[in-house]
Amino acid sequence: MVLRKSKTHLSRVIYYPLLVLGLLLSAGPAQSDIVDFQRVALQDGIAHYTFDVDLGPNEFDTVRLHRIVREKHEGKPVATIDGIFMLPGAPNFFKMIFLPSVVSDVPPWDQSIAVFLAKNGIDVWGMDYAWALVPPGTADFGFMEGWGLETEIDYAEQALEIVRTIRRASGQGNRRLHVLGFSYGVPIAYGIAGNETQLPPGKRRVKGIISVDFDMKVEDGLDRELACISADNGQGAIDGGSFVNDQGFVLTAIGSLAEFAPDDPSPIPDFAGLTNWQVAILLGAMDAPTWHFVAGEFNQFGLPTGLQFTEPELWIDLLQYVPFYLPRQAMVDVNTTRCGQDEVPFDDYLGNITVPIFALGAAGGAAPDAYTPPLTSSRDIEQLTVQFLPGDLHALDFGHADIFIATEAEELAWQPILTWLTAHKTERTFP
């Protein structure tokens, strides 16, 4: 049930049920506009708020903020233990990976990490990237030229300041927040924390980093080699005038075919001989080339028969809920940073980061053993890998997205995150 929509400038006092958001005047970006606001009641006193915020002068400089929080009554959050700001992967929406139970009818309503944390006293926030909100049918992508990692970090920093302001207005105090980055969100989280090392401690926003199954930097080896190749290929496309990757259309089409014509032969030439359902499962379960999204099950002929840890129907539902567009420059920046051959600004202050770090990986995922945390100056680093099989069978082990959408993800991944958050309620920053 949508209770309210509103449009306002952050320099004006606005009403958000029982919350005065006029404090946005003092801390929010001066040129930011809240262009849409919604509240949806879930169950057990949990509410889901969204705020669409314009952060720049151009048409698509808009991000969507999410808040999942337990309430005393409508519009009045309970006092929370701590706060977290969650950055999704690419191409992902916040709801797709952190709140899938509102996207799909397959899992119970509370089988989402955002709801799990909210039910356990955490004030959960997150963000949809600006490119995720670009509507289908957009023809001119000149605005994505130069829309790279620096843009993402800048928007996330502005969003985080707005989040802290709303938290103050809603009685949650002025404490820093932990920043969780999943996949593509990991280098953004490190970028924010790195930039903050150049600010006085009183102006910093990040209390800790939770890095989930990705790395900002990688060791010499295949991952670095692949990053270099991807960076070169992406830059070549940009030099040729292509600023957007629109493969989201292909992914959603594969999901739709699996949903509505599962037994029909796939029309995709590369998957000749497979059904639409098999293609969708294979897309999630095959290593591409060194990791997979969800752990698969295969017959003696190597054909996919299901998923080990995640309901296939859930995976197919989420596959249909993918952003259509992704800026090439952002991925070039991520891969250039991982390649390490060229100087980039995004890791300039990596070694200055002192906040606690929790690195959570999947044995079949993209960063089972994170390389980046020891490159920082943090004195509080914890790593956990969800693993079920010997290393030589990683192609069948717990996958990248299994961390958030597996049936037993609460026990395997979310509870360790909550345990770490609870243990780090007190700031342990070493300036």
Q: How far apart are CA 255 and CA 314, in angstroms?
A: 11
Q: Which pLDDT score, from 0 to 100, does residue 17 have?
A: 45
| The two structure tokens encoding residue 268 | 């995709």
Q: Which pLDDT score, from 0 to 100, does residue 387 have?
A: 98
* DSSP bridge pairs for 359: 211, 383
Q: How far apart are CA 225 and CA 58, in angstroms?
A: 36
Q: Does domain 8-219+343-423 have CATH number 1.20.1090.10?
A: no
Q: How far apart are CA 211 and CA 183, in angstroms?
A: 8
CB 258 within 8 A of CB 315: no
CB 126 within 8 A of CB 87: yes
Q: Which pLDDT score, from 0 to 100, does residue 15 have?
A: 40
Q: Which pLDDT score, from 0 to 100, does residue 4 have?
A: 31
Identify the burial level of 326 via C-beta atoms within 10 angstroms of its C-beta, where 0-12 means exposed, 13-18 middle and 19 or more buried.
Answer: buried
The contacts found for 257-263 with CB under 8 angstroms, 24 or more apart, are: 258/316, 258/319, 259/316, 259/317, 259/320
> Residue 334: CB partners within 8 Å, gap ≥ 6?
149, 184, 187
What are the extents of the domains in the chain? 8-219+343-423, 247-323
Supply the DSSP symbol for 321: S
| Beta-strand relationship, 76-77 and 82-87 | unpaired
| pLDDT by position in tens, the chain (length 431) | 223 333 333 333 334 443 434 434 334 454 567 888 999 999 999 999 999 999 988 899 999 999 999 999 888 999 999 999 999 999 999 999 999 999 999 999 999 999 999 999 999 999 999 999 999 999 999 999 999 999 999 999 999 999 999 999 888 888 899 999 999 999 999 999 999 999 999 899 999 999 999 999 999 999 999 999 999 999 999 999 999 999 999 999 999 999 999 999 999 999 999 999 999 999 999 998 999 999 999 999 999 999 999 999 999 999 999 999 999 999 999 999 999 999 999 999 999 999 999 999 999 999 999 999 999 999 999 999 999 999 999 999 999 999 999 999 999 999 999 999 999 987 654 44
Q: How far apart are CA 301 and CA 277, in angstroms?
A: 16
**SS3 assignment, position 399:** coil
Q: Which pLDDT score, from 0 to 100, does residue 428 have?
A: 53
Q: How far apart are CA 85 and CA 159, in angstroms?
A: 9
Q: Which pLDDT score, from 0 to 100, does residue 31 have?
A: 55
Q: What are phi and psi of 81, to 5 degrees?
A: -70, -45
Closest CA to 93 of 56, 61, 66, 59: 66
| CA distance to 14, 55, 88, 127, 235, per residue, from 151 (Å) | 28, 11, 16, 14, 17
Q: How far apart are CA 205 and CA 207, in angstroms?
A: 7
